[in-house]
A = this chain, B = another copy of it.
Amino acid sequence: MENIARTDLALERKEDVKEETLQGVIVETQNREGKDIEKTTIIIENEEGEKALGKPKGTYITIESESLREFDEDYHRELSEELRETLKTLLGGTKEILVVGLGNRQITPDALGPFVVDNLFITRHLNKEGILNTYYDISAIAPGVMAQTGIETGEIIKGVLKESKAKALIVIDALAARNTERLNKTIQISDAGICPGAGIGNNRVPINKETMGVKVIAIGVPTVIAVPSIVNDSMGKMLEALDRLDAKKVIKKFTEEERYRLACEILEPYLSEMFVTPKNIDEAVKRISYTISEAINQM
């Protein structure tokens, strides 16, 4: 099934599907008592679930917090701790970790991954040399995107993995959301890897357990919205407005899918190469990258 509206968040895929229950999909929501954190776990169990949500099998944990958008140092500590515990659970004791900051550091909303790597406390070489003795061996790389390297990012990671002998990957990337309300306040953690074409980047080889040969934990934060999503949304709203103007027959002519296709068609070709991002994206990306790197540093 094609995406009805383009999003990298399993949570938004779930919302797109109108049915309450789906075969092969388990959804569980938790609110952290006294904290502004909402945690949703979506498990896609089998092929039926994959089909329903258009994403590969696996666990998708979404941590949302209204405050992530704001400047409040203490709160982010709680969020950072939630993320840290989630990561430790998913790692299940594996010690040798390669953190990969995906994305292009020269484009603000795509720089999340490289910025996280910049703030990491790297321990692998210090443990090896006997200077430190931490539980996790953290190594890291921010390989850049294919336009910068000429090489599929998945290939670079595979090569570094083989030489460094890490046993698990933590992959960080900027994502695309459909809903502007989710930008820069949602963290998705998944063991299903990163799907091709996520966010602004153009990685076409999936980075997951099958292709990499080790456990892959993906951390993603939506920092942009695809232009077709914005247009699709507005078209929906415009059709509603037309509806109120008594033009019901027109609206009947469009299913939601037809509308999205129309949006894509209208926009070709140059707009598909564009993205929508908020004006305060620099602060947002800096702040969230710090929260994520702290979660890994404190593991």
Contact = CB atoms under 8 A, between A and B. Distances in A.
Contacts of A122: 147-150
Going nearest first, the 10 A-B pairs with the smallest beta carbon separation are A159-B159, A124-B150, A139-B150, A106-B282, A159-B163, A155-B163, A122-B150, A231-B234, A237-B266, A159-B160
Interface residues of A, number: 72
Interface string A272-295: 011111111110001000000000
A88 interface: no
Contact of A235 (B104, B147, B235, B274): B235
Nearest to A164: B151
A273 B266 contact: no
16 contacts: A106-B118, A107-B281, A125-B151, A125-B152, A138-B150, A140-B148, A141-B144, A156-B159, A158-B163, A159-B159, A159-B161, A180-B271, A234-B235, A245-B250, A247-B247, A275-B277
A148 B123 CA distance: 9
A181 B71 CA distance: 35
Interface string A66-110: 000001000000000000000000000000000000001011100
Interface string A248-262: 011001000000001
A267 interface: yes
A12 to B, nearest CB: 16
A238 B250 contact: no
Contacts of A200: 279
A117 interface: yes
Contacts of A142: 144
A97 B180 CA distance: 35
A277 B280 contact: no
Interface string A54-66: 0000000000000
B276 A276 contact: yes
B160 A156 contact: yes
Contact of A263 (B144, B155, B180, B234): B234
A156 B163 contact: yes
A173 interface: no
Given A106-B282, A159-B161, 16 more contacts: A117-B148, A125-B152, A137-B150, A138-B150, A139-B149, A147-B280, A151-B163, A151-B164, A162-B162, A234-B266, A235-B238, A237-B266, A250-B250, A270-B278, A274-B279, A275-B279
